[in-house]
C-alpha cells in the first residue's frame, strides 16, 4: 500500500520563538508590489476558498411593487 501523504522535509523547517524578530518583513519589502499582491491573493484563496463560479461580484436584485 502506498503512502498517500507527502513526507515532511525536516531540512526546510526552522523553529523559533514568537518573541524573536523575523526577517520576513524585510523579505516582503524587498519584493515587487505585484508579487506581494499575488501572495496576498493566494493566502485569501487558501483562507476563504476559491470557487471559479463565484469569482465575480454578486448581484443583488430587489423586487419593488408599485402602489
Question: Using one digit for the tens of pLDDT, what is the confidence trace for 41-56?
Answer: 888 888 887 776 666 6
What is the rounded radius of gyration, in angstroms, for the C-alpha atoms of the chain?
22
**Residue given cell 463565484 in the structure block:** 54
10 Å Cβ neighbour count for 36? Answer: 13
Domain coordinates in residue numbering, the chain: 21-49
pLDDT by residue (tens digit) across 3-38? Answer: 556 676 777 777 788 888 888 889 999 999 999 999
- Compute the Cα dihedral for 39, 44, 49, 51 and give only its sign: negative
- Which pLDDT does position 30 carry in this prediction? 95
- Which pLDDT does position 28 carry in this prediction? 92
Q: Model-level pTM?
A: 0.50
Amino acid at each position: 500500500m502506498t503512502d498517500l501523504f507527502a513526507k515532511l522535509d525536516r531540512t526546510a523547517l526552522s523553529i523559533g520563538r514568537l518573541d524573536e524578530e523575523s526577517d520576513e518583513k524585510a523579505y516582503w519589502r524587498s519584493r515587487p508590489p505585484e508579487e506581494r499582491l499575488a501572495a496576498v491573493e493566494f493566502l485569501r484563496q487558501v483562507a476563504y476558498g476559491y470557487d471559479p463560479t463565484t469569482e465575480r461580484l454578486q448581484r443583488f436584485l430587489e423586487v419593488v411593487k408599485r402602489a
